[in-house]
Amino acid sequence: MIEVSGIRVPLSQLDGTEAREQAVIRKALARRLHVRPDELGRVTRRKRSIDARKKGDVQLIFTLRTEFPGGEPAERELLAGLASRRESGSVRLVGTADKDFPLPCAHVPHDQGPIVVVGAGCAGLFCALSLARAGLEPLLIERGDDAARRSRVVRHHDETGELDPESNIQFGVGGAGTFSDGKLQTGTKSPFHRLVLKTFADAGAQQRILWDAKPHIGSDVLPEVVTHIVEMIEEAGGTVRCRCRLVDLDVSGGSVRAVTLRSEDPETGIVTEERVPCSRVVLACGHSARDVFELLSQRGVPMERKTFAMGVRIEHLQTDIDRALYGPAAGNPALGAAPYSLAVHLPSGRSAFSFCMCPGGYVVSAASEPGGVVTNGMSYSDRAGENANSGLLANVFPEDLPGDDVLAGIKLQRACEQAAFEAGGGGFVAPAQLVGDFLHDRPSSAVGGVEPTYPRGVAWGDVSRCLPSYITETIRAAIPEMGRKLRGFDRPDAVLTGVETRSSSPVRVTRGGSLQSVGVRGLWPVGEGAGYAGGIMSAAADGLRVAEAVVADVTEDPKA
């Protein structure tokens, strides 16, 4: 198979339809290889990105793959001909195999109890799927609801302000990522990334995620996708239990001995509790499982503080962002809604940055505790909303926190969320402020040209009093700098909605070279909550990496 990168297609040649794009890229690939289009086999996209550096000449850049009817000998001959023309730099032969799930184990250690995976976010789902396909029959527990019921619970909260602390935007099948647009780009490198994308596509996500440089699924599609992944786990021999959470962990003697689980029947409300003997637990609890971190601290599981970030959500009109990034090409159906990514490093030594940017999206109520307002963002698959939003955050470093309590970051998050709840006046109404007023350190009293999308409504005022001064001062200094990088970002009537506190975990559950806890044999911390990932892709890849380690551990264990 031949792979060709750097194939540029002017936007003017496209109309936003799949048929037109396929025809254009086939002709472009044929020209690049000096062959006729009918000499090419099936052409597949490996990557598609947008180059908008020249606003008057926006181009799409493709990496394409094709096979020739003559097979590898014909492909090598073609490559030699290109080399003689000194045109082979972006053309190479590639194999067709991508990394797959671990191979099945020889033994299933039934006498040691089930392998328990705690949390059905992306790390837990992909870990459990891998373990199930390895024949290990994992038990995946999730404190929240299945995706369909969870969606109804979230809508009920948005409409009434009633919060279910066990099932919400943070907790439930799919984890927090289910209601945050489903962005799949990542700054990390892993051999598992292609496998993750393919699994999502097999579960019902759009095929374009396999080649888009900035793929996303959409919060309207993700519930169905994660439901299908649960079905894959069960079909492979795993068990998935919703409304079931970890309430105790027996690690006596430095090894996992048992877990205590509390289950609730969502129809009857009947609660049962059971102790499950086991020797292996994968902890994929997510960054908001504060009770789990408290339990780990009580049981002496080694943890450490880590840097995390807090701030607000910022909203602009999506049309303004499109014009700023795409110029005259804004609105072209082949481009879609424009995303941005901004970071500013300040003379103070601190930095501010955009996070989880949602083109054509909505600010959401992401609370998981009574009396605390939390914001996040999401987009639907079509990204057709009127506003763009992103987190606008600054780091909280371990040295910013008082004392030596490993859970001090959680306490700071909670204090900011409670301050936001009070500033909003209750009912999960969020405090909001216009950018111009925020920059001049004065409260806002009314909306401008950007209508806030937060579903519980906003109370105009001063968001800065809900956050530490080093956060607000950093964001206040960064916004004008960001406005110089992205025209209109510092628009005076852009909306700030507070607070965003759950971008990442404030603690890390320390693990060693075997990926197990450094202090507890048989405990594998994984994903965002444990401090080893920062988004859907990195969390899923970490889950697969840990699954490989668990499979190896089971295979090598003489008792297995």
* Cβ(475)–Cβ(342) below 8 Å: no
Mean pLDDT of all residues in 461-468: 98
Distance between CA atoms of residues 174 and 223, nearest Å: 7
The answer to whether residue 472 scores a pLDDT higher than 60 is yes
First to last CA, the chain: 42
pLDDT at 186: 79
Mean pLDDT of all residues in 427-451: 98
38 Cβ contact partners less than 8 Å away, ≥ 6 residues apart:
none
Distance between CA atoms of residues 203 and 189, nearest Å: 23
Same fold, 2-93 and 114-304+508-556: no
DSSP state of 69: T
Amino acid sitting at position 556: E
DSSP state of 400: G
Q: Which helix (H) or strand (E) holds 93?
A: strand 91-93
Mean pLDDT of all residues in 301-322: 98
DSSP state of 216: B
Q: What is the CA radius of gyration of the chain?
A: 25
- pLDDT class of 74 with cuts at 50, 70, 90: confident
pTM of the model: 0.94
For residue 294, give Cα distances in angstroms to 225, 268, 408: 32, 29, 11
Mean pLDDT of all residues in 262-271: 90
Higher pLDDT, 124 or 73: 124
Q: Which of 491, 433, 501, 495 is nearest to 465 (CA)?
A: 433
Mean pLDDT of all residues in 428-435: 98
Tokens of 281: 């637990």
pLDDT at 108: 59
Phi-psi region of 118 (alpha: psi -120 to 50; beta: other; left: phi over 0): beta
DSSP state of 310: E
Distance between CA atoms of residues 124 and 139, nearest Å: 11
Q: Which of 116, 128, 167, 123 is nearest to 146 (CA)?
A: 167
Distance between CA atoms of residues 231 and 225, nearest Å: 10
- Mean pLDDT taken over the chain: 94
In this predicted model, what pLDDT tens digit does every residue of 478-517 receive, in sequence order?
Answer: 999 999 999 999 999 999 999 999 999 999 999 999 999 9
Q: Identify whether 499 is preceded by a cis peptide bond (ω within 30 of 0).
A: yes
Amino acid sitting at position 54: K
Q: Which helix (H) or strand (E) holds 308?
A: strand 308-317
pLDDT at 558: 53
Distance between CA atoms of residues 392 and 496, nearest Å: 9
Strand pairing class (343-345; 351-365): antiparallel
In this predicted model, what pLDDT tens digit does every residue of 359-401 receive, in sequence order?
Answer: 999 999 999 999 999 999 999 999 999 999 999 999 999 999 9
Q: How many CA atoms lie within 13 A of 309 on its CB side?
A: 21
Q: What is the CATH number of domain 114-304+508-556?
A: 3.50.50.60
Which CATH number does the domain 2-93 belong to among 3.30.70.2700, 3.40.50.300, 3.90.1150.10, 3.40.50.700? 3.30.70.2700
Sign of the Cα pseudo-torsion (305, 306, 312, 313, in order)? negative
The answer to whether residue 412 scores a pLDDT higher than 90 is yes
pLDDT at 106: 57
The answer to whether residue 560 scores a pLDDT higher than 60 is no
Domain positions in the chain are 2-93, 114-304+508-556, 307-500
For the chain, give me the number of helices (H) and strands (E)?
12, 22
Distance between CA atoms of residues 317 and 77, nearest Å: 52
pLDDT at 556: 81
Distance between CA atoms of residues 102 and 546, nearest Å: 11
273 Cβ contact partners less than 8 Å away, ≥ 6 residues apart:
247, 260, 261, 262, 263
In this predicted model, what pLDDT tens digit does every residue of 128-146 receive, in sequence order?
Answer: 999 999 999 999 999 999 9
In this predicted model, what pLDDT tens digit does every residue of 210-241 receive, in sequence order?
Answer: 999 999 999 999 999 999 999 999 999 999 99
Phi-psi region of 391 (alpha: psi -120 to 50; beta: other; left: phi over 0): beta
